[in-house]
Amino acid sequence: MLIEFKVTNFRSFRDTQTLSMVAGNFPEHMEANTFDAGLSGFGRFLRSSVVYGPNAAGKTNLLRALQFMQALVVSSATATPATGPPYAPFKFAAATRNAPSEFQVTFVQNLVRYEYGFSIDATRICEEWLVEYAHPRGREIFTRTYNEKIEDYNWKFSSFFRGQRSVWSEATRPNALFLSIAIQLNSKQLLPVFEWFQKRLVVIVGVTTLNPVLTLQLLRQLNGKQQLLPFLQEADLGIADLEVKREPIPSNAILVQPSPIIEQAPGDLTPSLVKVTFTHLSDTNEPVDLDLAEESSGTQVLFRSAGAWLNVFANGEVLLFDEIDTSLHPLLIRYLVTRFHSGETNPNNAQLIFTTHNTSLLDQEIFRRDQIWFVDKIRDGSSRLYPLTDFKPRNDEVLERWYMRGRYGALPLLDEMPN
């Protein structure tokens, strides 16, 4: 579960920007759109957030920042020692061009709250820290700070931190994270932190082909079809049944059908052509079979991605999806959002954070006021992230109308059309 993310001096974000998933004291959709994680000192948390803003304002950079943090945690232990950490500061100001970028995330894993962060420059990790809130009062598990005078790191470890601390710190390269190195060297205590980044955080940024691999894996399970079919039917696609057949592909075969699904499951010597058939009912209640290629693009997209979505719900993952409207129809987006906004369909409190241009979702029937965020650029070229609640909208305010009129900012600046 994600509580808060902060980023400073990364790409278009010059000053510290904060995305919070802590629910405000608003009564609307309290039971559906928020949940109680049982954390001492906290109230409820948001199941989703949506981010609006014009092109090139920085929406994608917000997701890239958390993706960058995830990638460094997961891969820095095995990165090439000679290379420095990737570094992308805000370049339009002299003060930030060579200053460290900083990232900090607060999250819950295994019912324990953690605050983990680091700062980097072009050559090294400048600082790294982890705070654990096993009890209401936090305890600093470790800190690592580069000391310019001695050209080395100052280390501080909590008495609660177990393991070969000196071995792990000595093995940590300047361009690697201590968290990653300690995990590689079998730290059990830090494993929940690492696994949150590795297994609970999913970031989809850039042009993405929705891979059906997880859907196909689900359909190989004993009750996989019983999980998948209701998910498709709830989207009101008129599907009564589905059938999956797999045929071996000869080595010299040439596939001419559009978008064929190819699968090579573990243990299979040759890949298979997967044929998916959907059964619909005619006006006389007779079954009518359609191949996947004959279905609408929305049905095809939902089938291909269904395994991934169901995986998010099953594992209680945090999903960040950039420009979700380029992959999914607005009605499918609404359907998926409603699944997040339900304790019945989202019992493990998975969270969805997505960017979009689809203003039809700016609707207080769908989102609470604290679930809506904007990203805009200011005069110096830096990005600013801010919530709708800054404007104190009324309960009955038509959000889409006022957004398009510019009340909340975060709109493209368009020249007047010529007469």
- Which of 35-44, 66-75, 202-211 is predicted least confidently? 202-211
CATH architecture of 2-206+322-404: 3-Layer(aba) Sandwich (3.40)
Instruction: Please give the model's pTM, rounded to 2 decimal places.
Output: 0.93
Helices 297-315, 224-234: axis angle to 10 degrees equals: 120
Domain-by-domain residue ranges, the chain? 2-206+322-404, 213-306
Cβ distance 349 to 2 under 8 Å?
Answer: no
In the prediction, which pLDDT does 265 show?
A: 74
Q: Is the dihedral of CA 176, 106, 60, 383 positive or negative?
A: negative
Mean pLDDT, the chain, whole residue set: 91
The helix (H) or strand (E) run that includes residue 401 is helix 399-404
Give the pLDDT band of residue 419 (cuts 50, 70, 90).
Answer: very low
In the prediction, which pLDDT does 82 show?
A: 59
The helix (H) or strand (E) run that includes residue 193 is helix 191-195
In the prediction, which pLDDT does 163 show?
A: 96
From residue 16, how far is each of 9, 102, 118, 142, 384 by CA, in Å? 7, 9, 14, 23, 9
Q: Looking at per-residue confidence, does 251 or 174 come out higher?
A: 174
In the prediction, which pLDDT does 414 show?
A: 52
Give the pLDDT band of residue 187 (cuts 50, 70, 90).
Answer: very high
> Of 243, 353, 339, 261, nearest to 300 (Cα)?
261
The total of other beta-carbon atoms located within 10 Å of residue 378's CB is 11
Task: Provide mean pLDDT across the span 127-156.
Answer: 94
> Of 351, 411, 333, 324, nearest to 375 (Cα)?
411
**pLDDT, tens digit (0-9, with 9 covering 90-100), for 189-201:** 999 999 999 999 9
Q: Looking at per-residue confidence, does 138 or 84 come out higher?
A: 138
Give the pLDDT band of residue 254 (cuts 50, 70, 90).
Answer: low
Give the pLDDT band of residue 413 (cuts 50, 70, 90).
Answer: low
DSSP alpha helix (H) spans, 7-122:
30-33, 59-75
In the prediction, which pLDDT does 366 show?
A: 97
Task: Provide mean pLDDT across the span 320-344.
Answer: 92
**pLDDT, tens digit (0-9, with 9 covering 90-100), for 20-57:** 999 999 999 999 999 999 888 889 999 999 999 999 99
Give the pLDDT band of residue 208 (cuts 50, 70, 90).
Answer: low
Task: Provide mean pLDDT across the span 352-377.
Answer: 96
Cβ distance 197 to 74 under 8 Å?
Answer: yes
In the prediction, which pLDDT does 132 show?
A: 97
d(CA 375, CA 217): 37
pLDDT at 256 over 60: no
